[in-house]
Structure 1
C-alpha cells in the first residue's frame, strides 16, 4: 500500500544486487577498520610519548607540552587513523560506507578545530554531534516514511514493517541518550575519564544495547519466504 514504510536508498532490486557483488572486508579487518582508530585514540591519550616522535614535526611545542598534551596527541592520531581506515576500506571493497564516512569527516573537522584553536571542547563535542545527527536522521526518516536503519545495518536482517518502525524509534532514542550522556561526562569529568567513556565505554554500551534488542528483533523477524520478497 502507498503508506507502507520502506527502507531508504532503494535497497531492493539493483541496489541489493550491487551490495551482493561488492567485496566485503574480512571480519578481523572490518573490526580493525571500525575500532582501530578508537583503540589508537585511547592508547595515544594514555601513552602520548609513544607518538611524540611522529607528531613533533607537525604539532607545535605548546600542544605537546601543555596540560592537554595527551588529548591533543590522541586527537592527532585519531584524525590520521580514520583516514587510513577509510582508505583501507575503500581499497578492499570499492565503496565507502556512509556511517564510517560521516564519522571520519566529523573526526577530521572537529579534530582540526581542536588543534588549531587548542581547545579540547571541539573533539569532545564531536561525539555529541554525531550521535545527535544519527538520532535525528532516524526520526526524520520516519517522518518522511523512510527507513534508514536497514541501510545502517547493511540489510542484514528482515523485520516486519512494525518491527522496523519500533526498532528505529528505539535506536533514535538511544542515540540521543548517548549524546546527552556524552555532554554530562565531558562537562563533569577529567580528560582521561572522558577518553575511557569514548572508548571502550561507548562500545560496551552499544554492545549491551544491541544485546538487549535481540528478543525484540526475534519477535518481529519475517519468515524465510516473506524475507525473500522485495
Structure 2
C-alpha cells in the first residue's frame, strides 16, 4: 500500500468539506430556479445535484494526486454519489439523492456490525495505524460508531420524508457531519483509557 504524503491540513479539510458546502450554497442560490432541457423542467435541487457530482469527483482526484492514496471510504462515497446522482437527474426526482445518505450510513453500520459479529473491529482496520489502541477499546468504539451510523440513517429517513428540501439540505450538510464529529470527539476518554505506547502492541497487554 502506498504511503500517504502529508499536505497542508487546511487544504485537505477544504477539499473534503468543500463539495457539500458548495452543494448547499448552490441549492440556496438555485432553489427557485427552473431550467428546461429537452422539454423537461429541472428545479434547483436537480441542478445542484448535477453540479455536485463532478465537483466531488474532482476533489477526490485532487486529494489522490496530492496525497498519493485514496481511501476505501472515498471510493465507496464516490460510487454512491455518482449512482444516485445519476438516478436523481435521469428520473428528475430528488428522492434518490436523499436516499443515498441513508444507504451510505446503513452500509457503514452493516459493515461494522458484521465485523463485530465476527469478533473483529473493521474500524481498527481503517484507523489502527494512526490510533494505537488495545483491541478491547477498538471493539467498544466500533459498537458506538455502528449505533451512531444507525441513528444517522434513521434520522435522515425521517427528515427527508417529512421536511422540506431546504431543511434536508441544511440537515445533511451541517447537522449529520456535526453529530458524527461530536461522536468521535466523545471517544477521547475511551482512547485515553485503552491507548498503547508506540512500542507496545495489543498482544503484550495482560
Same fold (TM over 0.5): yes
**TM norm structure 1:** 0.80
Asked if residue 32 in structure 1 is aligned to residue 20 in structure 2, the reply is no
Query: Counterpart in 2 of 1:74?
Result: 48
Q: Which stretch of the first structure deviates more once superposed, 90-99 or 109-118?
A: 90-99
- Residue segments in structure 2 that go unaligned for 5+ positions in a row: none
Give the Cα–Cα distance (whole angstroms) in 2 for the partners of residues 39 and 115 of structure 1.
20
Match in the other structure for 1:89: 63
Moved more, 69-78 or 183-192: 69-78
Q: Residue 132 of structure 2: which of 146, 150, 158 is its match?
A: 158
Q: 2:161 aligns with which of 177, 183, 187?
A: 187
Contact 2:49/2:85 (8 A) holds in 1: yes
Alpha-carbon offset, residue 33 of structure 1: 2.1
User: Aligned residue for 2:72?
Assistant: 98
CA contact (8 A) 1:63 1:72 kept: no
For the residues of structure 2 that align with 1:104 and 1:175, how far apart are their CA atoms? 18
Distance 1:163 1:91 in 2: 34
Following TM superposition, by how much is the alpha carbon of 1:60 offset from its aligned partner in structure 2, in angstroms? Answer: 5.2
Structure 1: 4+ residue segments shifted above 2 A = 59-64, 142-147, 150-155, 227-230
2:107 pairs with 116, 127, 133, which one?
133
CA distance in 2, matches of 1:25, 1:115: 35
Contact 1:99 1:152 in 2 (8 A): no
Give the root-mean-square deviation of aligned CA atoms.
2.4
Does residue 215 (structure 1) correspond to residue 189 (structure 2)? The answer is yes
Structure 2 contact 145–183 (Cα < 8 Å) conserved: no
Aligned-partner SS, 2:195: coil
Change (3 A) 1:179 1:60: farther
Change (3 A) 1:203 1:60: farther
Q: Does the CA-based 8 Å contact 2:133-2:202 persist in structure 1?
A: no
For residues 154-208 of structure 1, the C-alpha deviation after alignment (integer angstroms, 9 at most, x for no partner) is 6221111110011111101111110000000001100000000011111211121
Q: Which has the higher contact order (CA 8 A, sep 6+)?
A: 1
Q: How many residues align?
A: 203
Structure 1: give runs of 5+ residues left out of the alignment. 1-14
Deviations 1:17-58 (A, max 9, x none): x43xx3133212211221111011101110128x99xxx79x
